[in-house]
Structure 1
């Protein structure tokens, strides 16, 4: 099986989600009820694809807390959960409630400490012993160094990005040493040895996609060129409407925290 994970944590959006940190010009039109409905559909798709879902309560104090991926990096093999230190100061504290859940699940808890920052959306995990980490507005070199020290057996490659918030907005791992990438926002030279599928420039948002194993890929609906390209490469695209999370600068990967079997 080529499943990177088969258990995830999700947290539905609260009423406060409309106040999330976002640069999207449509941010003010976020419809929270629609966001809740879209989140339920997203969870249903995960369950239909044999992913075990741990569902938490909304965290009203933190408007961005639906984007649970950013809170930690979780490894099943190592039994380690590394709690993030957010580069976005308004989100600091979100990781505490996740830490409690992960402790209950039996993980040993470690933390990214000041002055390090690291957000899960910058961490691209593969099943070939390599983890790529975006050096971004949200994740700094000190945070990456600390991550390296927690996972000494892995090769950690730092990838500078400036045109997107998080690495996973421009690169996705699809198993079998295959990567979907948007060359206009991420330098392809860091990914030597991988098969690269270039996502059409006008469908950049589709690159925030989630590999569910066995060639199944969850991506936002409304990106027909990307769907077609994935089909031609032998993948099975599954689409979900995440319009309200797009408005909040989030996407398909951001909405779950995977327990990586390969870390």
Structure 2
């Protein structure tokens, strides 16, 4: 039975993280500044990100960095993890260079006692395309997640799963995120708002589109990238407390605050 949105304070209280590997500057990215990635700065920013989560009461489980995988810091993409029932759906990356990252995640979760299910070829599914809410799960149909991946997700979640065609960003969560209270932040120019009709929509200006990638920590707290004052002000006016972190080096690799942690979902 799914919980009503008024009864759940948070979607998770534990996350898995892993710091960037030495190869991080070779990340897969379309960002114009991708050749200026500073590994040492990225390592410091990752520490600050972890500290911010811990200061907000989130339990952080840390894995070692994964040599040979430049994008492995973006751990969210590797799996969907549900604490109730101890089940995990292990991704199959749509980006071929990332295939293999998920193996150590599967191993770690199995050691914790999770039952793992693999997304099988030719299906692809990446966590950055999955937006979990209290009642419904949305999944982007993108270059990274295909129809087979959507079907795998439907088998995994008891909640209704809605597929959202997404062409202007490579992950759904680059354009829309759930922030509790039956509310989403959304860049309407990047994803069709009609799919989220049942939700209050806080619209992010297109020139601050990166700020739509926010992580809801429960109890009206939002972790968001630093440097997007209009979006931060909008959120504060709606009664949210914003926790801002500098993730400039991860932005250069097309990643954001959701990408850097794998939540153990409570639903």
Indicate the TM-score class for this superposition, using the shorter chain for normalisation: over 0.9
In structure 2, the partner of 1:37 is: 44
Question: C-alpha offsets along residues 174-218 of structure 1, whole Å, 9 cap, x if unaligned?
Answer: 111111111000101111211111111110000010001111101
After superposition, residues 236-247 of structure 1 pair within 5 angstroms as: 236-247=241-252
CA distance in 2, matches of 1:107, 1:196: 35
Q: Distance in 2 between matches of 1:13 and 1:148?
A: 31
Q: 1:147 is matched with which residue?
A: 153
In 1, Cα distance between equivalents of 2:105 and 2:237: 39
TM-score by length of 2: 0.96
Q: Does 1:55 align with 2:62?
A: yes
Match of residue 84 from structure 1: 91
The gaps in structure 2 that reach 5 residues or longer are 1-7
Q: Deviations over 1:226-252 (max 9, x none)?
A: 000001100011100000000000000
Whether 1:186 and 2:191 are equivalent positions in the alignment is yes
The size of the alignment, in residue pairs, is: 260
Runs ≥4 in structure 1, deviation > 2 angstroms?
none
Residue 46, structure 1, aligned to residue 58, structure 2: no
Alignment map for 1:7-18 (pairs within 5 Å): 7-18=14-25
**Correspondence for 2:144:** 138
Name which of 166, 169, 173 aligns with 2:171.
Answer: 166
Gaps of 5+ in 1: none
Among candidates 212, 231, 248, match of residue 207 of structure 1: 212
- Considering only aligned residues, what root-mean-square deviation do their CA atoms show, in Å? 0.7
Q: Give 1:76 shift.
A: 1.2
